[in-house]
């Protein structure tokens, strides 16, 4: 067994941090670690929290941490920012927002940015989730900013996905456009102390009226004021209700299966794209690309030729 696997199973925080760096950097031991850790995963409840910049995600996470720690639950937080080059330590904002929890041994907080996440932040994030899960945390919270495709990919790996909106953001319509309805298991209207909260709630409920969603689960819309610690108990109650829904219906099994399948697909895509990038480094290809430039060969012919040359035709 790998030293870091042993460390993680023995609840050594440094081993966990190192393993996540291995995952981000695609260290040669990465797959060995993931294989060894996998049988020890699946116990944690994974909550994804996404929403526009400044919606109060970190503030909510901070309050949730306080709430869960009072109930003696251990919690891991991955703060994922696809727009940030920072990784490894913690982003400044998260450090400020979650300051009280950084020294708590029952809490593990890690920021992940694009730098260092070779092969994609979404991949690195869900592999990091596996590591946190194997470490034995009760709850894993993944905070991602924005509602772009990268975040949606990340959110597919949560048990429950909460979409955070604010009444002042004017972001509701935008969020719905980005396909967020597909991933939202519930909505959190944060900054409910600001005007426009009821209007936003009505808008979301209206969307839900016409949208297709699981017949047994209509995504609830809850209100929070994270700066006043309001609604955090309701948020956790909603998490538990959704968790029970997953457990008591086939939806949970279906999701796990889809997740595992997606992960295999991604690993294969990743594997083959590396092979192709490697082959493309071949210097003899330069002449071909020159021909393309001069219009002597079409991209279609060249792609076909290379596929045949590499023996990759089906």
Q: Quick check: 144 binds Mg ion (CB under 5 A)?
A: no
Instruction: List b or e across 284-314, with b for residues whose CB sees 16 or more CB atoms inside 10 angstroms.
Output: eeeebeeeeeeeeeeeeeeeeebeeeeeeee
The CA distance from 204 to 162, in Å, is 13
Question: Which residues make Cβ contacts (< 8 Å) with residue 12, sequence separation at least 6?
Answer: none
Q: 226 is in the binding site of which of Mg ion, ligand GTP, none (Cβ under 5 to 8 A by kind)? A: ligand GTP
Q: 55 is in the binding site of which of Mg ion, ligand GTP, none (Cβ under 5 to 8 A by kind)? A: ligand GTP
Question: Which member of 88, 93, 116, 220 binds ligand GTP (CB under 6 A)?
Answer: 93
Residue 133 or residue 143: which is nearer to ligand GTP going by CB? 143
Q: Quick check: 83 binds ligand GTP (CB under 6 A)?
A: no
Place of tokens 């939202």: 184
Q: How many residues bind ligand GTP (CB under 6 A)?
A: 17
The CA distance from 294 to 155, in Å, is 45
SS3 content of the chain, % helix, strand, coil (to 5): 55, 15, 30
Task: With beta carbons less than 8 A apart as the criterion, state whether 157 and 44 touch.
Answer: no
Q: 220 is in the binding site of which of Mg ion, ligand GTP, none (Cβ under 5 to 8 A by kind)? A: none
Our CA dihedral for 214, 68, 108, 164, rounded to 10 degrees, sits at: 40
Q: 59 is in the binding site of which of Mg ion, ligand GTP, none (Cβ under 5 to 8 A by kind)? A: ligand GTP
Q: Quick check: 58 binds Mg ion (CB under 5 A)?
A: yes
Question: Which member of 14, 42, 53, 301 binds ligand GTP (CB under 6 A)?
Answer: 53
Report which residue's Cβ sits closest to Mg ion.
58
Residue 37 or residue 55: which is nearer to ligand GTP going by CB? 55
Taking CB under 6 A as the rule, which mask of x and - marks residues 101-140 in contact with ligand GTP?
----------------------------------------
Of 5-13, 51-59, 114-122, 148-156, the segment contacting Mg ion by CB under 5 A is 51-59
Our CA dihedral for 99, 103, 108, 111, rounded to 10 degrees, sits at: 40
Strands of the 186-189 sheet, one edge to the other: 107-112, 75-80, 139-145, 45-51, 160-165, 186-189, 221-223
Of 52-60, 128-136, 202-210, 285-293, the segment contacting ligand GTP by CB under 6 A is 52-60
């Amino acid at each position: 067994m790998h030293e870091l696997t042993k460390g993680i199973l023995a609840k050594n925080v440094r081993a966990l941090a190192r393993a996540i760096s291995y995952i981000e950097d695609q260290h040669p031991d990465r797959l060995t670690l993931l294989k060894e850790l996998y049988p020890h995963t699946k116990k944690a409840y994974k909550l994804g929290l996404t929403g526009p910049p400044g919606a109060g995600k970190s503030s909510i996470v901070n309050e949730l941490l306080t709430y869960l720690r009072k109930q003696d639950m251990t919690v891991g937080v991955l703060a994922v920012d696809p727009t940030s080059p920072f990784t490894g330590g913690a982003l400044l904002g998260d450090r400020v927002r979650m300051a009280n929890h950084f020294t708590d041994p029952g809490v593990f907080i890690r920021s992940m940015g694009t730098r260092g996440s070779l092969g994609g932040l979404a991949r690195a994030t869900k592999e990091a989730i596996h590591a946190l899960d194997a470490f034995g945390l009760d709850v894993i919270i993944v905070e991602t900013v924005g509602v772009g495709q990268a975040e949606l990919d990340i959110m597919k790996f949560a048990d429950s996905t909460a979409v955070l909106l604010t009444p002042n953001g004017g972001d509701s319509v935008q969020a719905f456009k980005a396909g967020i309805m597909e991933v939202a298991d519930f909505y959190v209207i944060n900054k409910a102390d600001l005007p426009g909260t009821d209007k936003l709630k009505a808008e979301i409920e209206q969307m839900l009226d016409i949208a297709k969603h699981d017949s047994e689960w209509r995504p609830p819309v809850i209100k929070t004021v994270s700066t006043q610690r309001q609604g955090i108990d309701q948020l956790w109650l909603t998490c538990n209700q959704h968790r029970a829904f997953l457990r008591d219906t086939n939806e949970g099994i279906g999701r796990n299966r889809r997740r595992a399948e997606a992960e295999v697909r991604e690993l294969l895509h990743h594997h083959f794209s590396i092979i192709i990038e490697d082959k493309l480094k071949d210097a003899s290809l330069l002449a071909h690309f020159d021909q393309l430039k001069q219009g002597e060969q079409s991209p279609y012919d060249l792609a076909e030729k290379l596929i045949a040359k590499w023996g990759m035709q089906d």
